[in-house]
Each structure stands twice: as C-alpha cells, then as structure tokens.
C-alpha cells in the first residue's frame, strides 16, 4: 500500500512497484488532501509508500517543511520526522493538466484522505460523491475538527481546539490521536471492501478522537452524578464537589492510588520523580510497607483496606515520599519493581532521546537525510516494518510518478515549462534566530 500527499491541502497516495524500469501504480493505494499534522500522522501510520504532492505554483511545499527551522538550508525536523518513507511530486491543480493528473491518480487509488477546511474538497472538485462516481471502490477518508451536524461543523480546528472540546485540555492528543483513529477507520473500510467490493466514506472528527481516549472521564462524570463524590480522586474527601468532575492532577485514573513522588535530586532536577501505584489489595500494600522498611504501616488501622487508604491517602503520600527521596528514580524503579510494585521513572526528553533501550529496540530510529541536516533521530512506527527511508526533497519524485501515468520525458519537461509541475529542489532556508536566557 502507498500514500501520496499534497501540500497546501491536496494529497494523493498510491502504491508503486519499484523493481521495474516503469514504476506502475498498483495494489492498495491512497489519495489524500491535507494541511497539517493530523492527516500526516494518518499517512505516517499506514504501512505504505507515500507520495506528497505539493502545489506546483507554490515552491515552498507543505508548510511544515519551513517551520521551526534549526539548521540552515535543511528541511525542518517538523517535516522530516513525519514524512519519512514518502515521495514528492509538485503539481499545480489549478491548471487543466494538473487537475487531469490528479484525477488519473485518484482513479488508480484505493484510499483518498482529506483534512482541509470544511467544504473545500467539494468546492475544488474532490467531494465524496464525485470521487465515488469516478472510482466506486475508493475509500474516502475525511478528518475534521468536529462531527457532521455539530454546531461547530464548519469551524476549523487545530490540536488545542480539539483537546479543549474533547475534555483533554492538558494533554497532547488532538493531532496524532486523530490521525491514528482515521487510520483505524481506513483499515476497517478496506477490510469491509474485501467483502462488499465497494468503497465507503470514512469521517473522523478530532473531538471524537480525543473523547475516545478520554472515555474514562465520562465514567467518572456519571459516577459523580450518582455518588456526589469520587473516592478515587486526589482531592477526596476534602473537596467541595460540584456538578463537573475536578481535575485529576497527576493521579491514576482508577481505584488504585497512583501518584508522582520526589526522588533523590529533586531539589535541582525538575524531572527527578518516580510514579508509584498502590494497588487495592492488602498484599500489595504490605509489599510497599515491607520494601520501604515500615511494616508498621500494615497494621495501622487508618490504612487497613483500600477504602481506608483512600480516605487517608494524604497521610500516605508523605510517608512514601520520605522513602523515595533517598534514592534516584532508576534505583527506585529497580528496587520497587523487584518487589512487584508498579513503578516507573519520570523521563525527560533528553533521557528519552539518549536512552539505551529505546535506541536499541528501534523505537527511536536514526535517518540519514544527507545535506546540511545529516543524521537525525525520530520516533519509529509503533509497530515493526522493515525498511525506513528519509523524507523526500520537494518534487524529488516528479519524473517517477508521472512516468507511472504514461508521461514520457518530453511531456514531463513540457509540464515543467507550463508551470503544471516545478523542478525538484532541496531546502534553501535560514536557521531560526533564538534568544537564550541567562
């Protein structure tokens, strides 16, 4: 399977066969209209070859290529980390020939993905009805901020908007999560098509995607409606409960008592913390008490049974932290983990970037981009696939993709002269100037 993406709102995806002189579109393929990260994440998680189609009249390509620049004359990490394993074609769809090329690719595609302003796809000739008539087996995937029929259906949305509307204002869920949910919908539609031989319309709102990951909060809200208080919340029992659930701080979302505790070095290191979960059973509580050298906690009536521990957790927190502050977070993870206690270090991004485990197992991969950028790290796919290639330069695959549609070298050169496509080009941009604090 393969995907092609178009900057400034238009993208096509199609699988290509690379072992022959003429590269042909075949098998599972996808076409997409995208603007920013949400649809890119969807394409990123599909096990496909991706071809990004940038508007031939706009030579900077998709916006992320030139945002948050840290190295002169290099595409941004924002672009590079989300566009590995893709190909690039520049195409001006405002020209008759450019639109014809787009439609030719769509006719061969299996999946069409659009993530542009509500109504834009239809106005530009890429609505569901038109493309379904053109290619009845096409899966049409649409990613918007809000649901169809919503009061906010026609409102544009970026990640913080979706997080706020989805009940997760303090988390980073809007973009990546929405793309992954759309991927699931596309894969389900492809499987359905195996039985029906007909394409379908897949619609994903960012708000729904965020809500799906925060569904446990609805459970808490209903519990509050019924009980009037939530024993498993950090603020229980000394909280003036209202109609809505309060913020959960850094506590675990279930009945267990999970919390972040200071570790050795916390005075100077803002990330010297460890997360520990006290499970509900008395056996688990005994393991914590014995491991921390305080067996008297086991017989303390205030901590007898999970209900009493919930009532008096404000007393438990400092007791545990008096122990955790004696050891660094890695020692704590080793000691407590060996005793069967759920525990983990709070890692900062420098630790994650350079951690031996993630770099060794392929979670963090190194890509050689060449040029001024050279080698850089990125997060690999959450599942394992062989072969991982760098992100393409702008228009790098123009000739390859157009040849797959039957264009010969002279015709491709003519398209360049007429402005239907642009010449392939590498990055030419400044490094962002920054002000460093004292």
Q: Which residues are designated catalytic?
A: 175
What is the spatial distance between Cα 325 and Cα 328, in angstroms, rounded to a whole number?
7
What is the spatial distance between Cα 200 and Cα 280, in angstroms, rounded to a whole number?
46
What is the spatial distance between Cα 252 and Cα 284, in angstroms, rounded to a whole number?
16
Token match 């549609």: residue? 405
The pairing of strands 343-345 and 273-278 is antiparallel
> What number of CA atoms fall less than 13 Å from residue 96's CA on the CB side?
0
Q: Give kind and range of the element (H or E) at residue 277.
A: strand 273-278
328: tokens are 């660094």
Residue length of the chain: 438
Contact (CB, 8 A) for 153 and 15: no
Contact (CB, 8 A) for 111 and 28: yes
What is the spatial distance between Cα 3 and Cα 23, in angstroms, rounded to a whole number?
15
**What is the radius of gyration, based on Cα positions, of the chain?**
26
H-only helix segments in 24-158 = 37-45, 77-80, 96-108, 120-123, 128-134
Q: Sheet holding 257-262: strands in order across?
A: 257-262, 273-278, 343-345
Token match 């446990």: residue? 216
Q: Which residue in 301, 296, 293 sits closest to 322, CA to CA?
A: 293
Q: Which residue in 273, 237, 241, 238 sits closest to 258, CA to CA?
A: 273
Number of neighbours of residue 219 by Cβ within 10 angstroms: 12
Q: DSSP character for 141? A: E
Contact (CB, 8 A) for 344 and 333: yes
């Amino acid at each position: 399977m393969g995907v092609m993406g178009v900057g400034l709102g238009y993208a096509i995806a199609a699988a290509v066969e690379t072992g022959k002189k003429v590269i042909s579109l075949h098998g599972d393929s996808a076409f997409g209209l995208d603007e920013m990260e949400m649809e890119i994440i969807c394409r990123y998680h599909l096990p496909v070859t991706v071809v990004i189609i940038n508007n031939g009249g706009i030579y900077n390509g998709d916006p992320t290529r030139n945002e948050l620049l840290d190295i002169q004359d290099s595409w941004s990490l924002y672009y590079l980390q989300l566009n590995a394993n893709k190909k690039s074609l520049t195409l001006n769809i405002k020209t008759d020939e450019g639109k014809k090329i787009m439609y030719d690719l769509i006719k061969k595609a299996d999946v069409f993905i659009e993530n542009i302003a509500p109504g834009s796809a239809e106005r530009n000739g890429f609505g569901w009805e038109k493309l379904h008539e053109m290619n009845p087996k096409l899966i049409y995937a649409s990613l918007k901020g809000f649901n169809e029929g919503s009061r906010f259906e026609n409102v544009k949305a970026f990640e913080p908007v979706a997080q706020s509307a989805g009940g997760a204002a303090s988390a980073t869920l809007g973009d990546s999560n929405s793309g992954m949910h759309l991927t699931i919908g596309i894969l389900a539609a492809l499987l359905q098509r195996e039985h029906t031989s007909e394409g379908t319309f897949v619609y994903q709102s960012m708000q729904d995607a965020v809500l799906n990951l925060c569904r446990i909060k609805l459970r808490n809200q209903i519990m509050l409606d019924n009980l009037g208080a939530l024993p498993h919340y950090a603020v229980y029992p000394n909280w003036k409960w209202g109609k809505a659930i309060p913020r959960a701080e850094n506590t675990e979302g279930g009945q267990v008592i999970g919390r972040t505790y200071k570790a050795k070095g916390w005075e100077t290191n803002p990330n010297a913390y460890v997360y520990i979960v006290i499970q509900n059973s008395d056996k688990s509580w005994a393991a914590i008490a014995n491991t921390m050298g305080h067996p008297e906690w086991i017989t303390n009536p205030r901590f007898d049974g999970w209900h009493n521990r919930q009532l008096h957790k404000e007393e438990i927190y400092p007791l545990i932290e008096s122990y955790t502050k004696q050891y660094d977070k890695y020692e704590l993870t080793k000691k407590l983990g060996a005793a069967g206690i759920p525990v983990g270090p709070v890692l900062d991004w420098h630790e994650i970037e350079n951690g031996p485990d993630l770099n060794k197992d392929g979670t963090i991969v190194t890509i050689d981009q060449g040029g001024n950028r050279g080698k850089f790290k990125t997060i690999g796919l959450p599942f394992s696939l062989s072969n991982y290639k760098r992100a393409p330069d702008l228009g790098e695959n123009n000739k390859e993709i157009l040849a797959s549609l039957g264009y010969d070298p002279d015709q491709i050169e003519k398209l360049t002269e007429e402005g239907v496509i642009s010449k392939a080009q590498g990055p030419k941009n400044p490094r962002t100037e920054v002000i460093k604090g004292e």
